Structure 1
Amino acid sequence: MKVSLFITCLTDQYYPRVGIALVKVLEKLGCEIDFPQEQTCCGQPMWNNGFADETRALAKRMIEIFENAEYVVTPSGSCCAMVRDYYEDALKDEPDWLPRAKKLAGKTYEFVEFLTKVLKFDPKEHAVSWNGDVTYHYSCHLRGIGMTDEASNLLQQISGLGYHPLDKKEQCCGFGGTFSMKYPQISGEMARDKTACIDKTGADTVVINDAGCAMNIEGTCRREGVQKQFTSVAEILAEGMGLLEPGGDK
């Protein structure tokens, strides 16, 4: 099975270890990974701010780059949702591009979604073991791609991992891309509420799969004096399968 990695801007710049972990896990599961060097932004910031022409240009670039991929896998539910939910809308009046957008949407998956729905990954079959107490932040854009409790269910199947449910798990962390810049006071209150819920769990580690959410929540926790470690499902799996040394730069 051939998989093309769509790493996303924020993961590439701020959380490269997530991409390394993702590749190691998928390779261990028998996937052949390639990384198209030409990839850039998916266009989501432009689309969210009403720059439709700029979005279309980036969407067409993404389509051309990943068109021949068997599967496209990304660590970001947010960017996955952009490809799946909005490319067709952005290119609806361009008959030469619309079918190509639909084709890309049909083979693009968020990492945990790909593990659970395509590879049918079972942590117990692979003797995944990771010691620690975690809580999990559910990113809003996962709703757009039909994901609900896949990540939390996966975490709870890992030997040695103590799972602590998060209150108000369906509530946004306040990032929302440029929402946090346009409405900083509202965004800040939402982030502080999320941080209070995290603190209440008593877990040492927060699992967040979307880089935007991770940056927002990590920063708020530091400012609020809530001392937590942060990681992703990919990193936990890679560490738990002996593919990546525990800890390291996040």
Structure 2
Amino acid sequence: MKIGLFIPCYVDQFYPKVGIATYELLQKLGCEVHFPMGQTCCGQPMANSGYQYLTKGCDANFIANFAEFDYIVCPSGSCVLHVKEHLHDQKQEELAAEMRKKVFELTEFITDILKVDSIDGNFPYRVGMHVSCHGQRGLKLSQMTELNAPFFSKPEQLLHNIKGLDLVALSRKDECCGFGGTFCVTEEAVSVKIGQDRIRDHENHHVDYITGGDMSCLMHLEGILKRQKSPIKTIHIAEILNSMEN
């Protein structure tokens, strides 16, 4: 299958290793992966701030870059959810509607489309899993704890066979990190306080790393960790799944 690799702008600019890990991982799983060089922001920041009408150029550019692929895969649940719910083009609405169905978050694509339930790797550390709100509540990547329903987690399922990885059970496993896109700018104090509370849960469980499927959430937590001079590090789940087994 022919995959279009959709890399969020902040990953491209600040965390290129996440994009590379995603590319390598998909190749290892047998996919033909392409990175369209003309891709830019999906338009989510504007939409989050109430300026959805300003994203028309982003939508047209997204369609131009990704229309040819069988699937579009992205290591960011929030960007995927935005495209799934908001990709439109008056001149190509039928094509836009079809493309909305072909966009997948990385772990969702691996488990639901490739039908891979475990990946061999090596990451000998104690790890806390941060569940992003967009991934959980929008894409249904894992079960919400407030529901009286059987628990599942597509990201956690993929981590279980990683050699040496100790995935801890957090006290509040699906609590928001406080990032919220442009919310962290307009409501800085509230955003930081929520992030500090989220980190405290990981600290109480003595993790070495915090992982997750959204680098935006991890970027927010990483900033707080560095300011607190914490030894805890952040790492995207793609980097763990792409780790080599020894």
Regarding TM over 0.5, the answer is yes
Q: How does 1:170-189 map to 2 (within 5 A)?
A: 170-189=174-193
What CA distance in whole angstroms lies between the structure 1 residues aligned with 2:117 and 2:245? 12
Change beyond 3 A, Cα 1:192–1:127: closer
Q: Summarize the alignment of residues 1-250 of structure 1 with structure 2, pairs less than 5 Å apart.
A: 1-88=1-88, 94=90, 96-123=91-118, 127-142=120-135, 143-148=137-142, 149-241=153-245
Partner of 1:131, secondary structure, is: coil
Structure 1 spans left out of the alignment, 5+ residues: 243-250
Q: Would the aligned equivalents of 1:85 and 1:144 in 2 still touch at CA under 8 Å?
A: no
Q: How many residues align structurally?
A: 235
Residue 241 of structure 1 deviates from its aligned partner by: 4.6
RMSD: 1.6
Structure 2: gaps of 5 or more residues: 143-152
Moved more, 48-57 or 192-201: 48-57
| CA displacement at 1:221 relative to structure 2 | 1.4
Deviation string 1:89-139 (CA, Å, 9 cap, x unpaired) is: xx5xx3x4332221111111111111111111133xx54333221111001
CA distance in 2, matches of 1:115, 1:201: 29
Identical pairs, percent:
37
Q: TM-score under structure 1 normalisation?
A: 0.89
CA distance in 2 between counterparts of 1:98 and 1:141 reads: 24
**Aligned partner of 1:231: which letter?**
I
How many Å separate the matches in 2 of 1:172 and 1:97?
A: 36
Distance in 1 separating the partners of 2:32 and 2:206: 39
Give TM-score, length-normalised by structure 2. Answer: 0.90
Amino acid in the other structure paired with 1:141: H
- The superposition leaves residues 15-55 of structure 1 with CA deviations (integer Å, 9 ceiling, x where unpaired) of 11111111111111111111100000000011111222211
Structure 1 consecutive aligned stretches of length 4 or more whose deviation exceeds 6 Å:
none
Distance 2:215 2:237 in 1: 12
